[in-house]
Amino acid sequence: MALTSDQQFKELITKAEHVLITFRKNYTGDALASALALARFLSGLNKKCTIVADDFKMAPEFSFLPNIYSVANSLEHLRHFLIEVNLAGKKVSEFFYDVNNDKMMIYLLPEKGEFKPEDAVARHTGYRFDLIITLDAPDLESLGKVYSQEPDFFFQTTIVNIDHNLNNENYGQLNLVDPNKSSVAEIIYDLINNWQRSLVDAELATIILAGMIHKTQSFRLPNLAPKTLAITSDLIDLGADREKIVANFYCTKKIATLKLWGRVLARLQLDQSLKLAWASVPYTDFVKTGASPEDLNGLAEEMILNTPQTEIFVLLYETAVGNIFGSLHTKHHDAKWLLNNFGGEGTKEKAVFELPDKILTEAEMKVVNEIRKKIVG
């Protein structure tokens, strides 16, 4: 009888010694919280695990999450370099090494006879991770350099792919992809609850709930399933601190952030026929408000959620070096496809892009016109 997906997950975790947990470079709060929750659960099972995300930078609203500073921003030290020496018939009487001019010299002296060059072999050991778990990553390319710099590692290591996005490419050996879930955090809850619920303490419950709240905009998204609300109630019963989560996610806006948002909204433009809205942020706005590009986080989600006449929102901003960065959020279109001519990266709901060495007004016109063409056909 074939194993269920939950049973397969349990078997892979049980056999694993060191698990790599990773998520896409353009990460969501759902992915981050899910990674921290899963790592905490695996630690409770006495499993070694490491969380890595390409160029990870923590947004301030996530600073309250436990162990947030354990997330690494690059994948390093995948394998040891091994020098193997054949000792057949010999015993080592002396061993030492020296480093000189960027070279390491290793000295071995046998009790009798001598070592020959053919007695030594240099090679890499196996990978230190024996299982990969990806979260909220529609494809391997979305992992950025974590994947692109070590593709062989991903091809030779078992992957558990956990996602709730319908456009996931199902690239794992085990694909736990459920578009009926509100978030990846909800899938993580099910996996833990169905396996070893006793490990869910107040802190773990808070982390899981944080992922669900961030993904659903505090449960304001339409078409939430009753089970999602039931899980929320259960997590609160287990000690999840909802007030702490909401305070950090929605009650920490700085004056500089509000000033920046005001400037963005003042420049807002709308194509009502396409339900397309867009705005641009020149570098001078960051200087005048004392804000930074990170302070734009959450603005697009608020626009999409609270403005019925907006189903697509494009935000462009200019950095000090003159490069143009942007993001596209959408309800019903494929954000990544709409931006594919600009190298857009992300998911169906959100994608980001970069236009180096462009003038902001020209970039705005180019991006908006391209989106119009794709929508109209």
- Alpha carbon 337 to chain centroid, angstroms: 20
Co-location of 261 and 359 in the same domain: yes
User: Could you report the per-residue pLDDT of 136-160, keeping only the tens digit for each?
Assistant: 999 999 999 999 999 999 999 999 9
CATH of the domain at 157: 3.90.1640.10
Co-location of 161 and 272 in the same domain: no
Co-location of 348 and 241 in the same domain: no
pLDDT higher than threshold 90 for residue 97: no
Higher pLDDT, 45 or 105: 45
CA pair distance 290, 258, nearest whole angstrom: 11
Is residue 164 within 8 Å of 190, Cβ to Cβ?
no
User: Could you report the per-residue pLDDT of 195-215, keeping only the tens digit for each?
Assistant: 999 999 999 999 999 999 999
Lowest mean pLDDT among 116-120, 183-187, 202-206, 275-279: 116-120
Is residue 210 within 8 Å of 235, Cβ to Cβ?
no
**Mean local confidence (pLDDT), 359-363:** 90
The whole domain housing 179 covers 5-75+128-248
pLDDT (0 to 100) of residue 132? 98
pLDDT higher than threshold 90 for residue 20: yes
Is residue 167 within 8 Å of 347, Cβ to Cβ?
yes
Co-location of 322 and 372 in the same domain: yes
Decide which of 248, 282, 304 is a domain's last residue. 248
The dihedral formed by the CA atoms of 231, 235, 236 and 238, expressed in degrees to the nearest 10: 140
Query: Is the entire prediction scored with pTM above 0.85?
Result: no
Co-location of 67 and 112 in the same domain: no
User: Could you report the per-residue pLDDT of 39-60, keeping only the tens digit for each?
Assistant: 999 999 999 999 999 999 998 8
Number of domains the chain contains: 3
Co-location of 259 and 156 in the same domain: no
Q: In three state form, how does the secondary structure of 199-237 look?
A: HCCHHHHHHHHHHHHHHCCCCCCCCCCHHHHHHHHHHHH
Quick one: tokens of 171? 């690239």
Is residue 46 within 8 Å of 14, Cβ to Cβ?
no
Is residue 192 within 8 Å of 200, Cβ to Cβ?
yes
Co-location of 208 and 339 in the same domain: no
Co-location of 56 and 177 in the same domain: yes
Q: In three state form, how does the secondary structure of the chain look?
A: CCCCHHHHHHHHHHHCCEEEEEECCCCCHHHHHHHHHHHHHHHHCCCEEEEECCCCCCCHHHCCCCCHHHCECCCCCCCCEEEEECCCCCCEEEEEEEEECCEEEEEEEECCCCCCHHHEEEEECCCCCCEEEEECCCCHHHHCHHHHCCHHHHHHCCEEEEECCCCCCCCCCEEEECCCCCCHHHHHHHHHHHHHHHHCCHHHHHHHHHHHHHHCCCCCCCCCCHHHHHHHHHHHHCCCCHHHHHHHHHCCCCHHHHHHHHHHHHCCEEECCCCEEEEEECHHHHHHHCCCHHHHCCHHHHHHHHCCCCCEEEEEEECCCCCEEEEEEECCCCHHHHCHHHCCEECCCEEEEEECCCCHHHHHHHHHHHHHHHHHC
Helix axes 29-44, 184-196, angle to 10 degrees: 20
Co-location of 231 and 270 in the same domain: no
Co-location of 85 and 68 in the same domain: no
Is residue 319 within 8 Å of 293, Cβ to Cβ?
yes
pLDDT (0 to 100) of residue 219? 85
Lowest mean pLDDT among 161-165, 229-233, 240-244, 329-333: 329-333
pLDDT higher than threshold 90 for residue 376: no
User: Could you report the per-residue pLDDT of 276-317, keeping only the tens digit for each?
Assistant: 999 999 999 999 999 988 888 888 888 887 788 889 999 999
Co-location of 69 and 187 in the same domain: yes
